[in-house]
Structure 1
Amino acid sequence: MSTTLHPDNADTRRSALAQEGFRFVEGEAMRSLLSSHGSLADWPQFAASWDALEPDTYLASVGLHRRRRHAVFSIADGAITREVDQPHYQSRDYNTLQGGIARWFEPVLPQIAESETLRAVLGFCSDVFGGLAPQVPRWHVELHQFRIEARPGEPGQPTPEGVHRDGVDYVLVLMIDRHNIASGTTTIHAQDGALLGSFTLSRAFDAALVDDARVFHGVTPVVAQDPDAPSHRDVLVVTFRRDSAPAAN
């Protein structure tokens, strides 16, 4: 069961997300959507930066493994600004595994934060998410580069906290690369737990758009197809939360 977003126009995209609270976008369509907001010429370098992610020491402390980098941006009146590095914080209401602590991660590299591809991604998100809440003057945006690795006898856990909400307004999950990986199905749930949809981000540019206030989401564990070879699932997660701070002059 899946719900696919077609690249008709901005109003169609917003309407589809507003009606159901989530949308799956196939890679070819998503690439076209992103291209309408900027160049993707540096996509190969952008995708290659996942090879430079650092271990998530917080998750390692509970015996699980992933790599990541993090950055914070603000968007006001269409202007995208990278903010000073900040910790990532979620309350235990949203993250029962690692909530209630300020987690500092290695920052997104400057050349990636300033890349044409990322600017296209953020422009797309600003268009779609900002169009759903035009009364919001300023958005607090967090960017997460994730690599989930599956090891012999040990599935990788894309969402170790289980089915959850992130405690933001909107979420984009963009597939960057899958190598030697099986499973990793995204599931979308109503607040009573009922399954609303499921789909697998399996190719570069496949994407999920989520209205975090309305639905819960999770991803099933991933396993290595060949347990003797390296395997990973690379995604970019972008979250938008309305920011009460005044925009800088």
Structure 2
Amino acid sequence: MNNIKLFLGDIKQTYTKNRFVFINGNDMECILRFFGATKDDLDSIKIVSNSLADDPTLPFRKSKNGRFEINFQEDQVHRLKFQPFILSKEEDFVRYDSGMVRKFRGIGDDLQLNTAFQALLKFKSFMIQDVLVRKRPNLDYSANRYVSTVFNLRTITTPKLLGEPALEGVHSDGVDHTMTVLLDAKNLTQDSAITFVHDIREQNGLRYDECNPDYVLSQVRHTHFLDTLLIIDHERKHSLSPVFLENENHIATRDMLIFFTRKSTLSMHISNTYDSFDKHQELPISFFLQNELEKN
């Protein structure tokens, strides 16, 4: 890729215009190398999901999460303290555990110290900076900082259990910007885990195959390592097809990183009690965004 700065500018322009953008894994690898990812860390992030824990509510999923502050005033990212997690129906998330307080196992140094992971946070910071979005209720848009809750997820399908990357059907994630990144996938059929991007008018909770085709704006599939989708979350909805077994004699797994990024909450927001900006004491980490576009 001869001029990555121009390429990044084109991606951001597409994101700003369409309110979503899909980047293939080969291009993302070049981008992450530009933002500081090493070859060894690109290799090791592929298997980081092997250490995930049982999900608190979904039997077909392994999970961990962690909270990070993206502070544009300081030009830094900081790991934030553990907090429980809530998504509500009012945030366009309709599922049996909507509004439930969930406590996930925290991601560790094997992920947060990985330069490819840090490069993903730098890339997302570049993509969202100065992008105006439809404002969500009870978020503080006056501050030049964001909370990015990162989920490392493995969806599992067995002969007796169907894995659903989005059991909730059509939804939004209650944030300003959502980014989804494929780490690995094994034993999936070609019609597994297709992401459908919907017009904001689509009804929440519908299955991917029940939706109004006039409201389907795009469909993409994370197939290769680092295939990445970004969505302006309060202006587009999305849904996914399940993970189907290609070989019925083996399990199927799909490993992802999901970055939920939003402004901090105001007092009336359902997550306000769990939205601390205190730094993580046991697993502290801070690093500069190091905007390579300005340095080089």
Question: By the TM > 0.5 criterion, same fold?
Answer: yes
Q: Secondary structure at the match of 2:13?
A: helix
Paired residue total: 239
Residue 79 in 1 paired to residue 88 in 2?
A: no
Distance in 1 of aligned mates of 2:15 and 2:161: 35
Aligned CA RMSD, in angstroms, stands at 2.1
In structure 2, the partner of 1:101 is: 100
Distance in 1 of aligned mates of 2:63 and 2:6: 33
Q: Which has the higher strand share?
A: 1
Distance in 2 of aligned mates of 1:201 and 1:23: 13
Question: Contact 1:184–1:221 (CA<8 Å) still a contact in 2?
Answer: yes
Which of 171, 175, 179 matches 2:178? 171
Give 1:227 deviation, angstroms: 1.3
In structure 2, the partner of 1:91 is: 88
Mark the CA change 1:247 to 1:66 in structure 2 (over 3 Å): closer, same or farther. Answer: closer
Mark the CA change 1:58 to 1:115 in structure 2 (over 3 Å): closer, same or farther. Answer: same
Distance in 2 of aligned mates of 1:135 and 1:96: 29
Question: Contact 2:156–2:252 (CA<8 Å) still a contact in 1?
Answer: yes
Residue 234 in 1 paired to residue 255 in 2?
A: yes
Amino acid at match of 2:226: F
Cα-to-partner distance string for 1:223-244 (whole Å, 9 max, x where unaligned)? 1111111320111001110126
Residue 149 in 1 paired to residue 156 in 2?
A: yes
In structure 2, the partner of 1:32 is: 30
Pairs within 5 Å for 1:159-238: 159-182=166-189, 183-193=192-202, 194-238=215-259
Cα-to-partner distance string for 1:40-87 (whole Å, 9 max, x where unaligned)? 331222221101111113123xxxx11110000001122010001111
Distance in 1 of aligned mates of 2:84 and 2:257: 18
Q: Which runs of 5+ in 1 are unaligned?
A: 1-5
Amino acid at match of 2:199: A
Question: Contact 2:188–2:253 (CA<8 Å) still a contact in 1?
Answer: yes
Which of 67, 70, 74 matches 2:65? 70
Amino acid at match of 1:13: I
Distance in 2 of aligned mates of 1:105 and 1:154: 21
Distance in 1 of aligned mates of 2:149 and 2:277: 17
Question: Contact 1:7–1:32 (CA<8 Å) still a contact in 2?
Answer: no
Mark the CA change 1:38 to 1:227 in structure 2 (over 3 Å): closer, same or farther. Answer: same
Amino acid at match of 1:82: R
Shift >4 Å, 4+ stretches: 133-136, 244-248
Give 1:110 deviation, angstroms: 2.0
Q: Secondary structure at the match of 1:209?
A: strand
Distance in 2 of aligned mates of 1:166 and 1:160: 13
Q: Secondary structure at the match of 1:100?
A: coil
Distance in 2 of aligned mates of 1:111 and 1:50: 10
Q: TM-score, normalised by structure 1?
A: 0.89
Give 1:247 deviation, angstroms: 7.8
Larger Rg belongs to: 2
Distance in 2 of aligned mates of 1:176 and 1:166: 20
Amino acid at match of 2:200: Q
Taking only the aligned residue pairs, the percentage that are identical comes to 22
Which of 8, 14, 37 matches 1:10? 8
Distance in 2 of aligned mates of 1:244 and 1:11: 30
Q: Which runs of 5+ in 2 are unaligned?
A: 133-140, 203-214, 267-275, 279-296
Question: Contact 1:22–1:210 (CA<8 Å) still a contact in 2?
Answer: yes
